[in-house]
Structure 1
């Protein structure tokens, strides 16, 4: 039976689907609230199930046609907090124009609260189908999917040219020079990768979460510090990541977390950029942004948003603490 049919592709591109989703237990790190990374995992699962319902599951696309399903962009707004054991409904609406070279989807996740249905998450997702050549030469891509197939992630974009790198031991200093930023080097392990060789979107989401953790610890306001001092926890109303090129298993990845804007004393936006060193040049493989605020834990069920105090503002702005 042929996997890729006109009917299946039409369903993929035009028919909305819905699926039931639950956040994973792992995502509940403070009380029973679910972090932004696992909220994005719900969005990813909804998109994967959309492919399944169209009759084009990720496994079959790869095994039969050598096409790796890669989320290459995810832009998510969180409108209501998720909790452990929540049972939500995710709706996926195709959002691909005739001239697009990636598959687009709009995802809405709804959750019930006290008998009322709330729109909890909205997200825009782009997908590429990466032709696999790692194990064997890829066969011919089915014509109905050809415009979404790429030989390398980012081939559909106008890539930034790589920049000449300084000596390897000076790269981190060069990437943060003159910026309100924090950076680190990390060797990509296989659990962050998929399709045998490259880091996947969920890997970048994990690094985005780690970036926040490392940054605030470096500024003296670590997650545990503010928890112990005043029961403050970070909250994320929005995050987005876009893959620009491929980063491969066991390559060194340079991650830069830069504070772009502190909005009054309520939220701050940070940009994250990822680079690999290839042939003496720094190549940007992904970029994204995350918006953070803080909330006060009122009890085991409830929290409320709070304004930054001077200590936190000084840390976010890279200033010495006030006396």
Structure 2
């Protein structure tokens, strides 16, 4: 790998902030869980790969930024709309357009993913992405970041946000996420989750952050939060009596996601306990429902919010191995979303 000289940095930063790039992307096999359709998490993975390729094309690859300057490339905001479903083995074109204003402290992009349907290209995904550069905090590198990049360097993830500091909430955590606990614990068994979900139409889940969800040796990365969002939805639906398999077996219904957003507010570290609260916000005309996901850790006896995000769901009925169509919610499903009994 070629060293990033001052000249290369100047040229690369100009390309990064001013030049559009295009790359061919393909969904991963792992993301095809129901028939051959691809879930929202893996659609977001394609967006992430397009952004990483844009950095490579500009001559500022994530590996080079880290090995040369000790800067970790972190996606800190990912807002994605899915307009057409992806299938296994689809090949798509992702266009990455720089979108960074002069006073922005993050590197911004607009990503459009196009796929062929019936011989014609269709816009399948649009996404807004923001990136921060975070100095390595584990190896304690003494190197100063290059001046050209310093505008986008943050001491911790979320530091670019100028929102008012949230009130500090004192909590007393319980030691209930040992390895024997498996997938962790829920609000009914945890005092912090019980406090976070009290009076809300919400589901709480706590578990230990595993290393495969992290990067740069210590911190939870964007793809880890996407996995967290997918997992908490699965647990929420099971808790409300309408698990994924239950509705698949009863009526061949599957959840579909037209919109998701994840925004990192602070850092969550490997093997910390992550408190995830999934709150139903609105059921819209019995056709879609929106929920918010908020994640916290406890440090020095106080809650620190590390993430907030939103996801919109609908349901589709499987018609055959290739086709599905959207359906309206019935009373059983609406009751479950609103916190009432899930009637059979």
Q: TM-score range by the shorter chain?
A: over 0.9
Instruction: Give the CA deviation at 1:5.
Output: 2.1
For 1:144, what is the secondary structure of its paired residue? Answer: coil
Matched residues in 1 for 2:4 and 2:255: separation?
48
Match of 2:248 in 1: 227
Higher mean alpha-carbon deviation, 167-176 vs 214-223, is at 167-176
Could you list the per-position Cα deviations for residues 32-59 of structure 1 after superposition, in whole angstroms to 9, with x for gaps in the alignment? 0000000000000000000000000000
Match of 1:150 in 2: 154
For 1:152, what is the secondary structure of its paired residue? Answer: coil
User: TM-score under structure 2 normalisation?
Assistant: 0.92
Quick one: which of 156, 164, 169 aligns to 1:163?
A: 169
Could you list the per-position Cα deviations for residues 247-300 of structure 1 after superposition, in whole angstroms to 9, with x for gaps in the alignment? 000100000000000001000000000000000101000000000000000000
For 2:148, what is the secondary structure of its paired residue? Answer: helix
Answering whether residue 285 of structure 2 is matched by residue 264 of structure 1, we say yes
Match of 2:310 in 1: 289
Match of 1:9 in 2: 13
Match of 1:304 in 2: 325
CA contact (8 A) 1:161 1:283 kept: no
Matched residues in 2 for 1:162 and 1:26: separation?
40
Higher mean alpha-carbon deviation, 243-252 vs 148-157, is at 148-157
Instruction: Give the CA deviation at 1:322.
Output: 5.1
5+ residue gaps, structure 2? 175-189
User: TM-score under structure 1 normalisation?
Assistant: 0.98
Match of 2:183 in 1: none
- The size of the alignment, in residue pairs, is 323
Instruction: Give the CA deviation at 1:166.
Output: 4.2
Matched residues in 1 for 2:173 and 2:12: separation?
51
Quick one: which of 96, 99, 104 aligns to 1:100?
A: 104
Match of 1:30 in 2: 34
Match of 2:53 in 1: 49
CA RMSD between the two structures: 1.1
For 1:238, what is the secondary structure of its paired residue? Answer: strand
Match of 1:238 in 2: 259
Matched residues in 1 for 2:118 and 2:243: separation?
34
Answering whether residue 156 of structure 2 is matched by residue 135 of structure 1, we say no
CA contact (8 A) 1:40 1:76 kept: yes
CA contact (8 A) 1:78 1:122 kept: yes
Answering whether residue 230 of structure 2 is matched by residue 209 of structure 1, we say yes
Matched residues in 2 for 1:104 and 1:149: separation?
14
- Which ranges of 4 or more aligned residues in structure 1 deviate by more than 3 Å? 1-4, 166-169
Instruction: Give the CA deviation at 1:2.
Output: 3.3
Could you list the per-position Cα deviations for residues 108-132 of structure 1 after superposition, in whole angstroms to 9, with x for gaps in the alignment? 0000011010000000000000011
For 2:329, what is the secondary structure of its paired residue? Answer: coil
For 1:61, what is the secondary structure of its paired residue? Answer: helix
Matched residues in 2 for 1:71 and 1:100: separation?
15
CA contact (8 A) 2:276 2:295 kept: yes
Matched residues in 2 for 1:76 and 1:121: separation?
7
Change (3 A) 1:321 1:34: closer
Instruction: Give the CA deviation at 1:18.
Output: 0.3
Match of 2:129 in 1: 125
Instruction: Give the CA deviation at 1:136.
Output: 2.9
